[in-house]
Amino acid sequence: MARSFADSTGGPFPVTSHRCHHKQKHCPPVLPGGSLPATPLLFHPHTKGSQILMDLSHKAVKRQASFCNAITFSNRPVLIYEQVRLKITKKQCCWSGALRLGFTSKDPSRIHPDSLPKYACPDLVSQSGFWAKALPEEFANEGNIIAFWVDKKGRVFYRINDSAAMLFFNGVRTADPLWALVDVYGLTRGVQLLGECPLPLAPQMQGTPPGAVV
């Protein structure tokens, strides 16, 4: 029988065997056109890297060992402009590199966990339908809240805490449904999904977000 333990994210996490300073805001998402996500954004419960431990709410994950094999996905497609908000709950200083963030047009429910590579970058992004990039290491501190989203032009933006939005990368194909992709890599050992909050002036957004650094 699986045991459980409390973690800094509030746990509990099931214990399994494998091979190999900010307050959360509660605000309903307001997206262009007034559309709302039908269900909360959680981590996909089954399609995940072999080193990932997930709490029972499917909101928090941690990498149990090593520095890789920790790719995760959202449980449902995200909407255009919908923010994926993550809090870094655990940092492990003995590694280099940090969180990899992006999107995929491949339904995670149709991906066998054993087929996942060790790394999102470069392994997964070399495959069709996957887009991701590494978060700069200086932003990968415990307690930081990272939000990232894609616009209708396929540009991915991110912000750290209350900073201005910054262009992360582009080229995402938005004609198909997109699931969030989070690789708990390197320095980043644990993250927690937070409730989505709207971008400033989201209903008026047609291009670059207000204050975005491009």
Q: Which of 89, 100, 82, 117 is nearest to 186 (CA)?
A: 100
For the chain, which residues score pLDDT lower than 70? 1-38, 196-214
Domain boundaries, the chain: 43-193
pLDDT value of position 214: 57
Task: Please tell me the total number of residues recorded for the chain in this structure.
Answer: 214
pLDDT at position 91: 94
- What pLDDT, on the 0 to 100 scale, is given for residue 3? 40
Write down the pLDDT at residue 199.
Answer: 45
pLDDT at 127: 97
Backbone torsion region of residue 110, taken as left when φ is above 0, otherwise alpha when ψ lies between -120 and 50, otherwise beta: alpha
Strands 178-183 and 100-104 turn out to be antiparallel
Sign of CA pseudo-dihedral 107, 159, 42, 205: negative
HEC secondary structure over the chain = CCCEECCCCCCCEECCCCCCCCCCCCCCCCCHHHCCCCCCCCECCCCCCCCEEECCCCCEEEECCCCCCCEEEEEEEECCCCCEEEEEEEECCCCCCCCEEEEECCCHHHCCHHHCCCCCCCCHHHCCCEEEEECCHHHCCCCCEEEEEECCCCCEEEEECCCCCEEEECCCCCCCCEEEEEECCCCEEEEEEECCCCCCCHHHCCCCCCCCEC
pLDDT at 56: 96
What local confidence, expressed as pLDDT, does residue 93 receive? 85
pLDDT, position 195: 81
CATH number of 43-193: 2.60.120.920
